[in-house]
Structure 1
């Protein structure tokens, strides 16, 4: 079905808190299995991935990372049938395009190794998504080598093993270092690492842990790269955790942009001067805006309309003119008895 906002709407109190919902409760239905995976329909170079034919190999995620909305929004995990995927692979033949595999957990497909062998037999080259640490098999590494992939993306998320486990990502430091050593030994030249700041329970020691982990990674990276007689680079991507609806962290507070900037600077200073290590990050103000859009109620529509109608693209200026307090939507903790704007969905 289709959600029609005018059919189901919130009742609010004098302080704009939601007290209840009026109207039918939408029930989310799921098609299972994934018989029609998403894939490139129009081939054109005028897109972000213009050199790839994108094919969804699975939808949803079998893992339980508490900050990620993929599991909640796309649940249950549904791998595409291998024969369906093979028919889509055949569409790539002769196109000259790389094969872009779309999945939140590529190597968790129950027929992953068969799929990799099929890709190799057909002479296709892949562009992999972010790879799950601890799930990188020899079959996947061989496909990366065959495809002449030069760089891969991994997501340690945090430098603290304790915080990593607390957010539902059961990955040890040794697993991270071991997988990077195997990848670089196989010919991977560049490694990109995703880290989050502002995770629940995070303190300065955990932030410093990112610096220490990257230094350990670099030690392994340089040692193996020298053996390969070629040196690539490590890109450290740092982003602020944005609490998302339908996740275990939907009620958590978010760190303010000033504190986020401070933590990013601390990490950058700790890694400064290290050759082959580069830092990238999304501006904390954009994470702040994402949080407003992610957890806001219908009043946020007024903010979007103001932005659309103004000649300025300055979000800060538009928010200063908005009669609501942006921090109320972006930063605060939601109490357990608070009715959330998305509570009426039938998950």
Structure 2
């Protein structure tokens, strides 16, 4: 599909030339797989799981793991119009030519996107239609949803349950052996089903409707979730593909897995047990290596509950000092109320202050006890006051509505809690309430509870909207009820919904998690056509009845979940088992009770693993005045975070000239900004930063080059904090740029910020279209030379603008194989591509290529 990039929106999504990508020779490859993310590039490249597997699988010299993402609808139409199959990023290999395609399934609304990608690849949707040969790729799914993804079962040859680092290696070893032996597809699946954590859906069926699925082959009766027992043994990709723009473009470092807080609505908290942490030493080593190899300026410590990392203060304080020296920000997402102290807040504020987000989940204490959130209103207010003290003036609070036993009085408490947060600091701060309808999830204590109806979701949202409209400095955002309803249907769905997924896709349902693409109508029509109702999936479940996912063992017992459901109805709180009594959930080895998880070796143990370092016991101490109220120190919100003095030093001003050819011609100017910043960090060229709330490196570019146009000589200017010679800068950059880009020269500039721009540029125009029309293309240029004026109209935000572009053509030279044009920008600037299109009507952008040869400076 590479030859079509000039026709698609944002072509950099499909280049596969990012720093950190892996390219191998096909003739040396015995196993060729695609790690497929069923959403757009910008979303998928924020997903750490893909990066981890990408690094592990590509360590094998004869294995090649590439990436593929869901193309936007415009790109998909281009592929269909040109009969081109969906292909991998790195080698542009059609997906139907691979050995395996592994889909990362992170949420239920991506199911139709999987069929969309298979459709664009020419691969049969259903396992039953793929025959017995291994020539058609094995289609598999992994990720957080596979423990309850029965609506996908007929489409998947296999699924992986749990953590895939070791499982994927064992699975591909099995596939490689089967390919050598030229076995059938069925034989491979039989062997794959013996790999711990692998589930082959076609080997399980229900003897009667509504009963638990049982195996039909000699395979495990209950496939069990796979776990990496020790996080220090878990691979982390210190070198990884650096995206050309992503929702979260940062170094995301996983410091722990699992959470034992026991929130009763939280699927991840129940299914990722036991809790395991990396050692501080291990994390610091990864940070050092990763920042050096990636060039990121943003570091995020990730886990389900980052604030519960038992050595968080030591880790954060050790890391932040190093990062502040290079203007690298450090963020701690997934923080619980009261989980960080003043020292951490102060350090965070001193680097880069962003919005603060807290998740009370419910407005009333009664509801927080029902869901076992484990935080009080006093703790929330104290946390907000401390945020204000350290300079934050905006807070976002997340709430769910429709929780079991919720009343309208509980909704009123959401508004009241927001009011209290707004005034917590003694003056008003801006509060945003994010409202999401509750969806009962499998493998949680609430998996048997009913989801409130669509109409009632709308009623409760409107009720809250009316309340918030009456308040100043308080606003409300909400998740669309239709989307939550669909999530509720599929999250607890069975295999009958596979027909609904396929029919909804045929009716146009794609990108269902995107507001601009979402429509529930195809799904409702499909449900009706297959004789299914919303209520049988969103309604209350019988505690004694079989659930669609009962044949899969996630490690937490049904008995524990039922006990927690009972405690929820009694409004009883269950304390965190890492610090309190064990509740025998099934995930851990505890005394004589062994974990429900499968033993991989004789010495495998499953238990909550904390760092040896003790958390600061005084982290939450607060200062009170004589009236027993919290002392609020002077706020610093009107001052930007202090920039280290050495970061603003201007010791040298350099211009780097570089070429931009090959695949790199599809990189935009906006993308080049972050690309070059990371390049300079990786090669240790110390950039100078601006002052202010968001210090930025002092980098400036020449006139933006249109996407698709090559250049022999572009430039970027940089201020450096240290003296370097042009030769030293050139040497550092010589192998650091993306494919197609190379340093051409480096020159020293004056220290003045403004530098001259070119008044004219010379381009080579090559005709690459239908040979029979080549002379018509050349004649169009000759006709232009005979005209006194050429009026051209372009659309702008202020309406259409018409201009005479004839004076722009300063010189035209007709060569044997191309045309050289010099364009004069003294009076106006127009995209060179549009200039050529203006004088060659009837020709398309695929009919010619342009290369900038020279920039004429004053």
Task: Indicate whether the TM-score tops 0.5.
Answer: yes
Give distance in 2, aligned partners of 1:6 and 1:270: 51
**Contact 2:360/2:397 (8 A) holds in 1:** yes
The equivalent of 2:550 in structure 1 is 343
| Structure 2 partner of 1:140 | 344
**CA apart distance, 1:116:** 0.7
What is the number of residues matched between the two proteins? 336
Indicate the residue corresponding to 2:521 in structure 1.
Answer: 316
Partner SS for 2:525: helix
List per-residue Cα deviations over 1:41-66 (Å, max 9, x = no partner): 2211322112x111111111120100
Q: Distance in 2 between matches of 1:172 and 1:307?
A: 44
DSSP-derived class of the 1:18 partner: coil
Residue 238 in 1 paired to residue 435 in 2?
Answer: yes
**2 CA distance for matches of 1:148 and 1:320?**
49
Matched, 1:104 2:304: yes
Where does residue 177 of structure 1 map in the other structure? 381
Q: Per-residue deviation at 1:299?
A: 1.0
**What is the rounded CA distance, in whole Å, between the counterparts of 2:376 and 2:237 in structure 1?**
34
For 1:70 and 1:146, how far apart are their aligned partners in 2? Answer: 32
Larger radius of gyration: 2
SS at match of 1:139: helix
Q: Given the alignment of the two structures, is residue 49 of structure 1 paired with residue 248 of structure 2, yes or no?
A: yes
1:21 is aligned to 2:21: no
**1:75 aligns with one of 261, 268, 273:** 273
Residues 284-293 or 268-277, more deviating: 268-277
Q: CA offsets, 1:277-313, max 9 Å, x none?
A: 2211111111111111110001111111112222355
Please state how far the C-alpha of 1:166 moved relative to its aligned partner: 1.5
Shift, 1:216, TM fit: 1.2
Contact 2:212/2:547, CA 8 A, preserved across alignment: no
- 496, 499, 506: which one pairs with 1:302? 499
1:247-295 CA distances to partner (integer Å, 9 max, x unpaired)? Answer: 0001110001111111111111111142322211111111111111110
Q: Aligned match of 1:325 in 532, 538, 555?
A: 532
The whole-number CA distance in structure 1 between the counterparts of 2:436 and 2:490 is: 17
Residue in 1 aligned with 2:257? Answer: 59
CA distance in 2: counterparts of 1:11 and 1:46, whole angstroms: 49
Give the aligned partner of residue 318 of structure 2: 118
Distance 1:37 1:132 in 2: 27
**2:452 matched to 1:255?**
yes
Stretch deviating more after TM superposition (30-39 or 69-78) = 30-39
Counterpart contact for 1:120–1:146, Cα < 8 Å: no
Alignment partner of 1:298: what SS? Answer: coil
Q: Is the alpha carbon distance of 1:39 and 1:109 closer, same or farther for their aligned partners in structure 2, counting shifts above 3 Å?
A: farther
CA 1:20–1:49 in 2, change beyond 3 Å: closer, same or farther? closer
Look up the match of 1:228.
none
In structure 1, distance between residues paired with 2:533 and 2:300: 38
CA 326–192 in structure 1, closer or farther in 2 if over 3 Å, else same: farther
How far is the alpha carbon of 1:139 from its aligned partner? 3.4
Q: C-alpha separation between the residues in 2 aligned to 1:220 and 1:66?
A: 29
Q: Secondary structure at the match of 1:234?
A: strand
Question: Which residue is equivalent to 1:334?
Answer: 541
Runs (5+) with no aligned partner, structure 2: 1-195, 511-518, 556-858
- 1:276 aligns with one of 458, 467, 473: 473
- Which is further off, 159-168 or 20-29? 20-29
CA distance in 2, matches of 1:284, 1:169: 24
Distance in 2 (CA, whole Å) between partners of 1:37 and 1:112 is 21
Q: Which position in structure 1 is the counterpart of 2:283?
A: 85
- Cross-structure match for 2:717: none
Q: 1:279 aligns to what SS in structure 2?
A: strand
Q: Which residue is 2:600 aligned to?
A: none
1:4 to 176, 181, 200: 200
Counterpart Cα distance in 2 of 1:39 and 1:235: 36
TM-score, normalisation: structure 1: 0.91
Aligned residue number for residue 30 of structure 2 = none
User: How many Å separate the matches in 1 of 2:235 and 2:416?
Assistant: 40
- 1:87 is displaced (CA, Å) by 2.0
User: Could you say what the CA RMSD is over the residues aligned between the two structures, in angstroms?
Assistant: 2.0
Q: Give the Cα separation in 2 of the matches to 1:324 and 1:136.
A: 52
> Comparing 22-31 with 165-174, which one deviates more in the overlay?
22-31
Task: For 1:54 and 1:329, locate their aligned partners in 2 and report how far apart those are by CA, in whole Å.
Answer: 40
Distance 1:54 1:88 in 2: 11
Q: Is the 8 A contact 2:271 2:443 kept in 1?
A: yes
Q: TM-score, normalised by structure 2?
A: 0.38
C-alpha distance 155-54 of structure 1, shift in aligned 2 (>3 A): same
Check 1:19–1:71 CA distance in 2 against 1; reply closer, same or farther (3 A cut): closer
Counterparts of 2:353 and 2:532, CA distance in 1: 47
Residues 121 and 152 (structure 1 numbering): CA distance in 2 closer, same or farther, change over 3 Å?
Answer: same
Q: Structure 2 vs 1, CA of residues 71 and 318 (structure 1 numbering), >3 Å: closer, same or farther?
A: closer
Q: Secondary structure at the match of 1:153?
A: strand
Secondary structure in 1 matching 2:348: helix
Closer, same or farther in 2 for the Cα pair 1:293/1:38, shift >3 Å?
Answer: farther
Give the Cα separation in 2 of the matches to 1:265 and 1:204: 12
